[in-house]
């Protein structure tokens, strides 16, 4: 069985400070991991993904994430938050060897304080 846990439902940071959104997963097979962002009243957009290549993945808008198999984590980070980063963020796990499983985390709402 597979699952994904986003440890924080809400995260608040000040503009210009680092962002950390946490994601842990469990998977019986080799996982692919994704981070998607959803701005208010919009669809989801891919930030970055891990599919078995480099464990440190760089995405759009300065975000990056590191796949740590030993910790079963795929935390999302950004060195300096911008007001436009305020959104809902979803961690997603899929199974590369079985294409019928897609599990979304419950989401983390990122608030940026001026």
Partner 1 sequence: DTAVSQTPKYLVTQMGNDKSIKCEQNLGHDTMYWYKQDSKKFLKIMFSYNNKELIINETVPNRFSPKSPDKAHLNLHINSLELGDSAVYFCASSLGLPGIDTQYFGPGTRLTVL
Q: Which residues bind partner 1 (CB under 8 A)?
A: 32, 34, 36, 38, 41-46, 49, 51, 88, 90, 94-100, 102, 104, 106-107, 109
| CB-nearer residue toward partner 1: 28 or 97 | 97
| CB-nearer residue toward partner 1: 80 or 98 | 98
Q: How far is the CB of 34 from partner 1 (least distance, A)?
A: 8
Task: Please give the structure tokens belonging to residue 52.
Answer: 């078995």
Residue with tokens 């440890």: 7
Do residues 38 and 25 lie in contact, with contact meaning Cβ atoms separated by under 8 Å? no
Angle formed at CA 35 by CA 32 and CA 41, multiple of 5 degrees: 140
């Amino acid at each position: 069985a597979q699952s994904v846990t986003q440890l924080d439902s809400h995260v608040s940071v000040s503009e210009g400070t680092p962002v950390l959104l946490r994601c842990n997963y469990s998977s019986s097979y080799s996982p692919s991991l994704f981070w998607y962002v959803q701005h208010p009243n919009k669809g989801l957009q891919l930030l970055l993904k891990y599919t078995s290549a480099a464990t440190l993945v760089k995405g759009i808008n300065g975000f990056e994430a590191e796949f740590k198999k030993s910790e079963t984590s795929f935390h999302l980070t950004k060195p300096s938050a911008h007001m436009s980063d305020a959104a809902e963020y979803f961690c997603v796990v899929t199974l590369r060897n079985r294409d019928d499983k897609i599990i979304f985390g419950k989401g983390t709402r990122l608030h940026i304080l001026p």
